[in-house]
A and B are shown apart, each in its own frame.
Chain A
């Protein structure tokens, strides 16, 4: 049988999705359903003096209007579920509807429920709110300055937490031969999944059961948290998210809106639906990044790295989002030394409240920010000592024989073959010739730039013990049940909750390969807390390394039992049975065999099972990984900069990634492509901008530049395969590598192009105007 694992099979979810037969939360239609719309604060910071809902309530078709006061005491606050240890973290209450004070533009003030969505929306405009505006602050350094407006009573200087890790003392830097310092601004990004958030809630007064169809990357976590907010026991609360149109981290968080919708459905005893509009998605769904980073980097004149130290002032927004505090701390800090042997590393992180949308994970979450500063520093360092950036990287990369490798931040990297990936990428792009061409073009006044990133990523979150140690308020194992039905068809129930990445395909490939049943006979079920055992969802590129391995272990449990039955059927002892391609045969007498399907039928009939073996055939695993996984690779980008306009032409992009064993090359490549696009989006186009009053100026697609297909040429991608040593499938994550690697790669390339102008750094996004200004400034200074 040809290997299913490792082959390109078309995504089986696609026909359903592209013919409009997906089951998104908005598609749910229930009899008697009402529609909700939220009145949101137009002010970034204001006291609520008075709310008059009379006119809204009087509008025909309006069923109910709730304000913060109406809900006080009847519904809980929205919790934060990642509390970095020893950080003195402050978690002031986040009310589902603001009671006395609004803290950012978009903060919920009232909820209207009406017979249809049009009336609901019109009624929102009829609510009269008297606000007493307060001074607002959108930028984190301004927010911690003395005299800044304070968002939450008792949170001094708006500092939500202060977290430190690692060790890189002053004397290391004082004694260093070379020190490079640089400040980077990680601009704020808006995730913009294609599908905005949506929730449909149905309450059954007879049984007390609540069903909530919601856009979620982690339905079980949402059940866990919402059960607390709503006071509905977990066994009466069902969260369903069948198809989710992307999330990129923005559908991890638990938001007020979903809770309110469920509340209203219970209160009114009618189903209620709420669908976020695009404007709300810009304003209230979590944002990403937004850090001010001061970096010191030390090394020797020969090019050895000796230390890195980072101060990170992170903008958390108006409230601490569900996983928000974990992003600029754990997910950022621990990966700061990257793929290099750096003896000393330290991070010092402040999480700051501002009058802006809360920030949380966005594709890569912390790791792109860390990788960006590191890879930029490596280039600045190489320039400082006058060496080629590739040579400097190669010199410091962790060698393949040094794994498992313990880093200065206390992680144990599992495996790697960094130079193989580097060499492959260099060969694909033709590095030496490019450098020559660059020289030639420079003499003609043309500006080619080459940018390189050799990254490592921490993903596959992760061992639960570590989750506890780093303050994540949950476990990070994953559940899987592999149920083989009497006819040999298989249903796989996974607690990881794919939201578009293609695991209905790749998970079936895992099972098909391991269990020896045809791919077509396997169905993957996800995203329903009533059908699936507790699990932790999809984020941190954990779906395959944790959820996929959970399935592998569950299959192994099935096989263990099936083997007993097979031996019994073949009338030999278990040791004499071998299993291959879905067939059990007798060692030395291969014609005496039974198929897994035949065994399964016998397992269900149970007429003649071996002693002590229970009927039926299924396996359930709760798989807790022993370590994270560490994908790695090299990305190289070639750009040409137009000195008259500052335009950046993406000439070539090469990505070599190693995510361990590749289950489906096409799906993996798709993840790489999407990741690269989003990473370059940050480098060149995207960026949320707030004005002095903390109003979001980039609140529509007219102003906020999402990357579009036409912005790109081809990406040349390849994989090297270094099997992950610590999990059964040998797999690592691939969902975020592109975002992590591409941002610094492109910026390094642009800076390389601008070297003749003495330009060292430009704040992202590198808009043509910023590039042009830097060139002009360089010219004047020359």
Chain B
């Protein structure tokens, strides 16, 4: 599998990357881990004239703790995210999702920023970004911009990132104290991507009443979505098996559920329901 001809350049700062993007006039693409872009190029589904390699841009690496969340640099690899003690402690669903991306080689190369920028409808991380109400920090030609996760994903391979911009980092908000979270995934037997992936975050008060519920679902629809129907059904109720069952039926209501060769729309709806319930049950059991 051989891509068409392209130029390659490595940059060392975000500013440099933006400058090069602008100069190329839409012909260039940023290259991070390459694990989404290069396969597309080899299949000749993408033929950028130029690749701007940002993998050496130091400011884009690493995880920093802030009072209300963890800020993960765009170039942080899935493997790094999955094994970070901070992520595992404060954002277990993110660690779980990152550990379920592809295989070891993919996790060692692929980056969080690349994953979210690429916005494959079956990527794992968008579900988690929604459930932890992430903020995406983007550097553009005119400065910095902050995008909320829910307004970030627009459609298959489509995001709200402005032209010629670089994703710098993503803040995953730590949910209210006492929250529990989990990522539940049904991998496609061929691609390993999510047929459905469910990130669930729930907090209950001392009376076992749900005070906070965030459900992000990926894979099932043309774009990852917040299952607000489920959240609304849970909030204010006692967190019980009955509550889970009656809430889970709304799991596919908030997305444009799509069928494909492997799983029809009807079956994906079933998976959304069943696996939302299972994710919530795991939280109930914790």
Contact = CB atoms under 8 A, between A and B. Distances in A.
A177 interface: no
A705 B189 CA distance: 5
Contact of B270 (A645, A685, A701): A645
Nearest to A770: B267
Nearest to A277: B1
Interface stretch (A115-123, A355-363, A649-657, A719-727): A115-123
Interface string B1-36: 110110000000000000000000000000000000
Contacts of A520: none
Given A645-B274, A703-B191, A769-B267, A689 B261 contact: yes
A188 to B, nearest CB: 14
A125 B2 CA distance: 12
B264 interface: yes
A704 interface: yes
B234 to A, nearest CB: 20
A698 B261 contact: yes
A206 interface: no
Nearest to B193: A702
Contacts of A645: 186, 270-271, 274-275
B261 A706 contact: no
Interface string B176-194: 0000000000101111000
Contacts of A69: none
B190 A704 contact: yes
B54 to A, nearest CB: 25
A121 B3 CA distance: 9
Given A279-B43, A644-B274, A701-B190, A122 B261 contact: no
Interface in B41-74: 43
A706 B2 contact: no
B38 interface: no
A767 B262 contact: yes
A702 B264 contact: no
B86 interface: no
A282 B261 CA distance: 17
B189 to A, nearest CB: 4
Q: Among the interface residues B2, B190, B264, which one has the most CB atoms of the partner chain A within 10 A?
A: B190
A769 B263 contact: yes
Contacts of A767: 262-263
A279 B1 contact: yes
Interface string A641-672: 00011000000000000000000000000000
A711 interface: yes
Contact of B2 (A117, A644, A684, A697): A117
A118 B2 contact: yes
A700 interface: yes
B189 A122 contact: no
B261 A769 contact: no
Interface in B187-215: 188-191
Given A702-B191, A703-B191, A122 B5 contact: yes
Nearest to B190: A705
Interface in B92-151: none
A772 interface: yes
A703 B271 CA distance: 19
Q: Among the interface residues A117, A685, A704, A705, which one has the most CB atoms of the partner chain B within 10 A?
A: A705
B190 A277 contact: no
A702 B188 CA distance: 9
Contacts of A768: 263, 267
B261 A277 contact: no
A77 to B, nearest CB: 30
A424 interface: no
B217 to A, nearest CB: 16
A118 B186 CA distance: 38
30 contacts: A117-B2, A121-B2, A125-B4, A277-B2, A278-B1, A644-B270, A644-B274, A645-B186, A645-B274, A645-B275, A685-B189, A697-B261, A698-B190, A701-B191, A702-B190, A702-B191, A703-B190, A703-B262, A704-B190, A705-B188, A705-B189, A705-B190, A706-B190, A768-B263, A769-B262, A769-B263, A769-B264, A769-B267, A772-B267, A772-B270
Interface of B: 1-2, 4-5, 43, 186, 188-191, 261-264, 267, 270-271, 274-275
The 7 lowest CB-CB distance pairs between A and B, nearest first, are A705-B189, A705-B190, A769-B267, A702-B191, A121-B2, A644-B274, A277-B1
